[in-house]
């Protein structure tokens, strides 16, 4: 797993067994299908607005998938760590992700 850097401080990501994310995988597969469709639309010189609408649909699906991942993270990983030394690190990780979400930056 990749560590997260914030202000010269590196937060070590612990190895953790996660619950299965079947619902998120379904969303990812839907997004993959849309992406293939977008590629075909571009290759076929389809109308730009139609392509843009499909791109926005993929973005929406990925946002929903991300929200599900974060909710499960709160319900499991963060909750399980609340009585451990990792709790504050988990909170810092969430704060960083929220910053990225609100600023639209890449992690």
In a domain, 9, yes or no: no
**From first to last of its 107 residues, what are the pLDDT tens digits of the chain?**
445 454 444 445 555 556 678 899 999 999 999 999 999 999 999 999 999 999 999 999 999 999 999 998 888 888 888 888 888 888 888 889 888 888 866 66
Q: Report which of 65, 6, 8 is spatially closest to residue 31, judged by C-alpha positions.
A: 65
Could you tell me the residue range of the domain that residue 87 belongs to?
A: 22-97
pLDDT of residue 29: 97
CATH number at residue 64: 1.20.58.1000
In a domain, 54, yes or no: yes
In a domain, 5, yes or no: no
In a domain, 75, yes or no: yes
- Rounded Cα distance, 4 and 19, in Å: 22
Q: Residues near 94 by Cβ (< 8 Å), separated by ≥ 6?
A: 70, 73, 74, 78
Helix, strand or coil, per DSSP, at residue 21: coil
How many domains does the chain fold into?
1
In a domain, 12, yes or no: no
Rounded to two decimals, the pTM is: 0.72
In a domain, 61, yes or no: yes
In a domain, 50, yes or no: yes
In a domain, 8, yes or no: no
């Amino acid at each position: 797993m990749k560590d997260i850097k914030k202000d010269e401080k590196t937060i070590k990501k612990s190895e953790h067994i996660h619950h299965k994310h079947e619902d998120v995988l379904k969303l990812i597969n839907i997004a993959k299908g849309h992406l293939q469709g977008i590629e075909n639309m571009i290759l076929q010189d389809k109308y730009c607005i139609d392509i843009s609408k499909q791109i926005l649909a993929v973005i929406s699906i990925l946002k929903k998938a991300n929200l599900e991942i974060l909710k499960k993270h709160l319900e499991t990983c963060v909750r399980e760590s609340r009585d451990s030394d990792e709790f504050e690190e988990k909170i810092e990780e969430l704060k960083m992700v929220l910053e990225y979400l609100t600023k639209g930056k890449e992690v």
